[in-house]
Structure 1
Amino acid sequence: MSTVLKELNQTRQQLISHPVIRSTLAANPPSAARELITQLQHQNGIPASSSTMYRAKETVATEMFSEDRTTVKLLPSYLKEFQRLNPGTFTALECYKTGHFRRAIMVMNPKWFLKGQGVYGVDAAHMKHRRYNGIKIILVGRDGNFSNRVAAVAIDPVEISTTTLGSLGV
Structure 2
Amino acid sequence: MRLDLRNIIHVPDAEKTFQYQMDLSDLDFWGRKPITRPVSVEGSVTNHAGALVLSGTACSELDLVCDRCGKEFSREKVVPLDSLLADKLENEDSEDDIILLDGNELDLDEVVTTAFVLAMDTKNLCSEDCKGLCAKCGADLNLGPCGCRPDVDPRWAALAQLLDDES
> Smaller-chain TM-score range?
under 0.3
Task: Tell me the TM-score normalized by structure 1.
Answer: 0.22
Select the structure that is richer in strand. Answer: 2
Select the structure that is richer in helix. Answer: 1
Larger radius of gyration between Structure 1 and Structure 2: 2
Task: Tell me the TM-score normalized by structure 2.
Answer: 0.22
